[in-house]
Copies of this chain bind each other. A is one copy, B any other.
Amino acid sequence: MSKLMNKNSSNTMALAPNTSSKRETVCIFGTGDFGRALGHKMIQSGYPVVFGSRSTQTSSLIPKGAEVFSHAEAAQKAAIIIIAVQRQHYNFLIPLAEILRGKVLVDVSNNLKINQYPESNAEYLAQLVPGAKVVKAFNTVSAWALQSGTLDASRQVFVCGDDMEAKQMVMAIVRALGLTPVDQGSLLAAQEIENYPLQLFPMWKFPILLSLGLTAFFFFYCLARDVIYPYVYENKDFSFFIAISIPNRICPILALILLALVYLPGVLAAIIQLYRGTKYRRFPDWLDKWMLCRKQLGLVALAFASLHVLYTLIIPIRSFVRWRISSRIVSQALNNKTEPLNTTNAWLSDSYLALGILGFFLFVLLGITSLPSVSNNVNWREFRFVQSKLGYLTLILCTAHTLVYGGNRFLSPSSYRWYLPNAYMLSLIVPCIVLVVKFVLIFPCLDKPLTRIRQGWERNPQYSEQSNYIINKSAV
C-alpha cells in the first residue's frame, strides 16, 4: 500500500471531480507546512478545502483546488475549521468568536517541550473560543508524512473532545484520509495527546538506565579482577580484554539478571496478595510501574543475550585465543606428551553450551511473540502460555547454563581474586531467588489460596463487603 501511495503522491493525483463529491467543505486556518500538507491530503480524498489567512493572495504553494480567503470568510464556508497555527498566535481567534460559534475547531498543534504550558493547547483554545466545539486531533502526524505518503511511523491519530458529534465528524475525516482514529475521551486527554509526540521511549527509560548502571558496575568489577589484578601481581598486560573478554562477561550477567527481574515482580505480587488475602488493594506504586515495563526489561535482556552469543561465537577467530591454543599445543608437542580425553570435562563443556543454546533459542521465541503483529494473532491463553510457561523455562535453562559453566570452580580458592568472587556468581543471586520462591509458590498449600484470591475470594472482606457478596451470589 505504501508503494501505491508513494506513486500516488509523486505522479498524477487522483483528484475527486467537483460534480459528484458530497463531502463537506473543510476550512484550514494557516497556510504553513502542516496546513498545506493536510489540505493537500484532504483534497486528494475528495474534501473541498478553503484556507483562511491574513493575506488572501494565492501562492504557488497552496495545493491546487483550494481557495484562500480571509479568516472570517473562510470560517463561514465550513462547519469544521482546522487551526494549523501555533499556540502563541491563537488570540487572533478572539475577534472571530461570533463566527466560530457552534463550529468544530480542530486543534492540531504540538509543543516543543513536555508539559510546556499549564493547560493543553486544545483546552486553551476552548477557553479562548467558548462557543466552539474543540477537538484535538492530527498532532501525531507529520507534514512530511502527509505529503510524501510514506507513513512509516504510526498511522494512528489520537482524537479527544467534549462534544461527541464533533468528535465523530473529525474521526470520519481521519478515516477518509486513510488513517486510524483512536478515541481518547474528553478534552482532558489533550495534555497527554500533546505530550505523546515529544516522548522518547518513555517505557524504556527505566530498563535502559538500570542496565547502564549494572553495566558500569560489572565493567569496573571485571576490570579490577581480570585486567588490573594480573597487571599488579603477574605484570601481564591484558588491557585488550576490554574489547571482547570483559563485554562477554558483562552481557550474559546482565541478560540473566534482567530476565530474572522480569519475573521477580510477579512473585512479589503473589506474596503480597497471599499476605493481604485479597486482590482488591492496589500494589505499591513501584511494583505497578515495574510490572508495566516487564516487556521492555525482557527485550533489553534479549539484546544482551544476543550480544553474548555473538561475542562467544567469535571467540575462535580472536588472535589471542589462536595464540593461546597454538602455544599450548606447541608446548605439548615439545614436551612429547598427549593428553587423553577428559570425559567429565567434555560432558561439562557440552552441556553448558547446549543449555545456553536452548535457553537462547527460547529467549528469541519469546522476543518474536512480543512483536505487536504476532501477539495480535494469539489469544490470551496462548499469550500467557508463551510469556509465563516458556518464560520460566527460559529462566531455568539460562540459570542452569550459568551454574554448569561455573562447574567445580565455585569452591576453588584460585577463582577469588582480592576476595572478589567471579562476576557470574553475583549474577546467579536474583534468578536463584526468583526460581526458589516460584517453586515454593507452586506447592498446593500456597497455590490453592492464591488461585482463590485471584478469582475474587477475600480472607478478610473488609474492603468491599457488598461487592464480594454480589460476586459470590449472582455474578461472576
Contact = CB atoms under 8 A, between A and B. Distances in A.
Contacts of A456: 32-33
A contact patch SS = helix
Contact of A476 (B33, B158, B315, B316): B33
Contacts of A61: 280, 464, 467
A3 B57 CA distance: 43
Contacts of A312: 314, 317
Contact of A243 (B244, B330, B354, B361): B354
A452 interface: no
A318 B349 CA distance: 6
Contacts of A60: 463-464, 467
15 contacts: A14-B186, A32-B476, A46-B164, A54-B470, A92-B474, A142-B380, A198-B381, A201-B378, A240-B351, A311-B357, A312-B314, A319-B346, A323-B339, A324-B341, A371-B373
A408 interface: no
Given A240-B346, A338-B330, A475-B30, A163 B20 contact: yes
Contacts of A331: 338
Contact of A475 (B7, B29, B247): B29
Interface centre among A29, A192, A379 (most CB of B within 10 A): A379
Interface residues of A, number: 169
Interface in A255-288: 280, 288
A271 to B, nearest CB: 19
Nearest to A197: B379
B473 A55 contact: yes
Contacts of A311: 354, 357
